[in-house]
Copies of this chain bind each other. A is one copy, B any other.
Amino acid sequence: MVVRVAVAGASGYAGGEALRLLLSHPEVEIGALTGNSNAGQLLGSLQPHLVPLAGRTLEATTPEVLAGHDVVFLALPHGQSAAVAAELGDEVLVVDMGADHRLKDSADWDAFYGAPHAGTWPYGLPELPGAREALAGTKRIAVPGCFPTAVSLALFPAYQGGLAEPEAVIVAATGTSGAGKALKPHLLGAEVMGSVTPYGVGGGHRHTPEMVQNLSPLAGERVRVSFTPTLVPMARGILATCSAKALPGTTAESLRAAYEKAYADEPFVHLLPEGRMPSTKSVHGSNAVHVQVAYDESAGRIIAVSAIDNLTKGTAGGAVQSMNIALGLPEQLGLSTIGVAP
């Protein structure tokens, strides 16, 4: 089987990471690479780490250029995916790494994104209950946000196990690639190095409703989520520190058991032995999710921590994993659980 894949938005971080992974995928052949303002430039000058593609030229993102592929990855600004997908035809697998098709509730979409809602596609977080079934054979995939990936995998066993109150408090640290290649003063190296700063404080981050959407069905009621992201001095990685009050009867043992059960057969989720802590370095460049959980008896809270690479499992790796499922390929094909460390 040869799967011919185009990547729209190949000059950015998400597009570059998709190409990095697709280059190592044994069934994939890389087709058109498109950009917008960068059309006409060599990929070698934009993504110098992708040596095998150094001589490829970016084309404009048009239906003609994207036509004739089995799969199209979209790494586009919010609000642009639906129009592109509409032109591609139903037989093409469209993998949207943007936000446009993640949220089920149009009101959430309106409140946090402020554009017309493009509708919902099967959600590419295979570890969530029921997700693999929805992804099998689909031609449309909504790749989750990076924070919702980390948070949902940290917390869902606690909710699935009926152990946690429906109020979650989350503080996540992210590397600056999560903000993309946008030229903003606060993303300059001189600002970022040696500094930690929060943003979206007070419930303003767009990934919040996506977390609510993922966790509520497991809790059996609407989970209120308090989410604060912080920007830390590294290029890649997310560490999500999540907590919720434990429901009566929860013990350290029942908590551990819920996580062991949830992740016994998950190829990419690595529940760490007790006492060992996740670190973003351990998952650098890999599709692995490292998870630890503890019960703080004094505070009466469950503390669950996860580490992912925001560009790999948090974006392009999760996208490839879901693509594999949609195409009927082995889920782990072209993906690794081995981080590049130190």
The yes or no answer to A137 lying at the interface (CB within 8 A) is no
- Most chain B CB within 10 A, of A188, A280, A338, is at A188
In the bound complex, do residue A339 and residue B49 qualify as a contact, i.e. CB atoms below 8 Å apart?
A: yes
Number of interface residues of A (CB under 8 A): 93
Contacts of A281 in B (CB 8 A): 49, 191, 194-195, 197, 235
Task: Spot the interface stretch: A58-66, A79-87, A113-121, A296-304.
Answer: A296-304
Q: Which of A189-207 contact B (CB under 8 A)?
A: 189-199, 201-203
Please, what's the 1-or-0 string for A168-185, where 1 marks a CB less than 8 Å from any CB in chain B?
Answer: 010101011101010111
Contacts of A228 in B (CB 8 A): 241, 243, 303, 305
Oligomeric state, in copies = 4
The yes or no answer to A288 lying at the interface (CB within 8 A) is yes
In the bound complex, do residue A234 and residue B233 qualify as a contact, i.e. CB atoms below 8 Å apart?
A: yes
Task: Spot the interface stretch: A99-107, A123-131, A138-146, A270-278.
Answer: A270-278
- Interface residues of chain A, those whose CB is within 8 Å of chain B, are 13, 16, 20, 23-24, 44-45, 47-52, 54, 167, 169, 171, 173, 175-177, 179, 181, 183-185, 187-199, 201-203, 208, 224-226, 228, 230, 232-237, 239, 241, 243, 245, 270, 272-273, 276-286, 288, 290, 292, 294-301, 303, 305, 307, 336-342
